[in-house]
Amino acid sequence: MAFEPPQRLVRALDESVPDADDWVDKLPDTAGQAVAQRELSVERVQVPGGRSSLVVLVRRSDGTPAVLKLAPPRARPESERAALAHWDGRGAVQLLEPFAAEGVLLLERLHPDVSVRSLPEAKALLEAAGTLRRLWVEPPGDHVFETVAERTGRQAEAMRGASAEVAALVSAALDARESLLAAPPERRLLHGTFRQSKVLSGARAPWLAVGPDPVVGECAFDLARLVRDRVEDLIASSSGAATTRRRIKRLAESLEVDQERLRGWTLFRAVESGVRALRVGRPRDAELLLEFAGWL
């Protein structure tokens, strides 16, 4: 079978990963070797798939359905492996092969086409938040995960080069970050890139998280990305700003997170994403994100 990467993946890697062409060019051979070594039978490549990895639906030699995931080093697949091993299936997809070739993960098969995003908005937020709560555990003592301070530090440096038209929002976001890092209330292992589309239906549990880019820090940082889910619907609504404020309040209360800290991290993460979208030539996405950030 030809392991051609979906165009969505190719475009995303072109935007964010230096030297991605070399990894993409080698991907068919890498995938073929991973399949052969594990004696897997291939059903299909998941399309449109993710933005940072190739996802292949496979069956193990005993007929058990599984997922083979291949990601470039820039996507930190070994960090994902470590987090999934630590969660051990609690709230997240189960890692079937703790020790494997670098950049290759063999995972429990969930229902790839059924995410929590398919539910009505209020129900989706409730189920997603409940899943996220299960992931917030103490990190292993010898962990090598990035911290929130480290990750946002890199992002802050990139934001400082933004155009003058977004300078006020960037300044507000950077000020919020500095204030939030001064006294974080807890230190937990976080999903890092959590949103509704990262929560899939499973047989073992109704909903399980996939695709972490784990980081260690306070819970409000993780929850902030969920606040802006379905941002295009929020922007299109005449009550979008009020809905956003209610969402922050509801999520903060349901997960026992400080409301102002959640608002601050939501601001930082929305502005960072908006500035990045401008930088890589996605003006429509940038417009949505920066308008959303202006409500905060």
Mean pLDDT in consecutive groups of 10 residues from the start of the chain, 296 residues? 72 65 83 93 85 90 96 89 96 89 92 93 93 96 93 96 92 98 96 96 96 97 96 95 96 96 98 94 95 97
pLDDT value for 212: 97
What secondary structure, in 3-state letters, does the chain show? CCCCCCHHHHHHHHHHCCCHHHHHHHHHHHHHHHHHHCCCEEEEECCCCCCCCEEEEEECCCCCEEEEEECCHHHCHHHHHHHHHHHCCCCECCECCCCCCCCEEEEECCEEEEEHHHCCHHHHHHHHHHHHHHHCECCCCCCCCEEHHHHHHHHHHHHCCCCHHHHHHHHHHHHHHHHHHHCCCCCEEECCCCCHHHEEECCCCCEEECCCCCEEECHHHHHHHHHCCCHHHHHHCCCHHHHHHHHHHHHHHHCCCCHHHHHHHHHHHHHHHHHHHHHCCCHHHHHHHHHHHHCC
Query: pLDDT tens, 213-258?
Result: 999 999 999 999 999 999 999 999 999 999 999 999 999 999 999 9
Say what the pLDDT of residue 65 is: 97
Instruction: Say what the pLDDT of residue 66 is.
Output: 97
Domains contained in the chain, CATH given: 7-109 (3.30.200.20), 114-294 (3.90.1200.10)
Q: What is the pLDDT of residue 15?
A: 65
pLDDT of residue 163: 87
